[in-house]
Structure 1
């Protein structure tokens, strides 16, 4: 599962993206992968690892709530057709 968000405010010259998703490594650890930055750049990356999938899902949910509170909007996927 991956959630893409954006925050655009032309009055503040703000054009940001934030992407967060669940991941799992070869050793069975569950994690949350984040990527953020300004549109047109690669941005920054970060992985946080957790012992259980439930902990990772809770962390992902908390991150999404924080970003929504700061004005980010969830980018809906485009439907092909």
Structure 2
């Protein structure tokens, strides 16, 4: 599961992306992978690890709510936006 968000405001010269998704390593730990930055760059990324999948899902949900509160919009996949 991955959620891509963007925040674009030309009046503030703001053109940002934020991507967050669930991940699992070879040892069975559950985590959240985050990547953020300005469009046209690689941006930065971070992994946060949790003991259970439920904790990771809760953390992902909290991050998405936080970013939506700051003005980010969820980017829909191309197939959903065109009615295909």
TM-score, normalised with respect to structure 1? 0.98
- How far, CA to CA, are the matches of 1:54 and 1:15 in structure 2? 32
For the aligned residue pairs, the C-alpha RMSD in angstroms reads 1.0
Aligned to 2:47: 47
Aligned to 2:65: 65
- How far, CA to CA, are the matches of 1:13 and 1:45 in structure 2? 22
Aligned to 2:6: 6
Q: How far 1:71 moved relative to its partner?
A: 0.1
Structure 1 residue 37 corresponds to structure 2 residue 37: yes
Q: How many residues align?
A: 81
Q: In structure 2, list runs of 5 or more residues that go unmatched.
A: none
Aligned structure 1 segments of 4 or more residues deviating by more than 2 angstroms:
none
Q: In structure 1, list runs of 5 or more residues that go unmatched.
A: none
TM-score, normalised with respect to structure 2? 0.94
Q: How far 1:48 moved relative to its partner?
A: 0.1
For residues 24-49 of structure 1, give each alpha carbon's deviation from its aligned partner in whole angstroms, at most 9, with x where no partner exists.
00000000000000000000000000
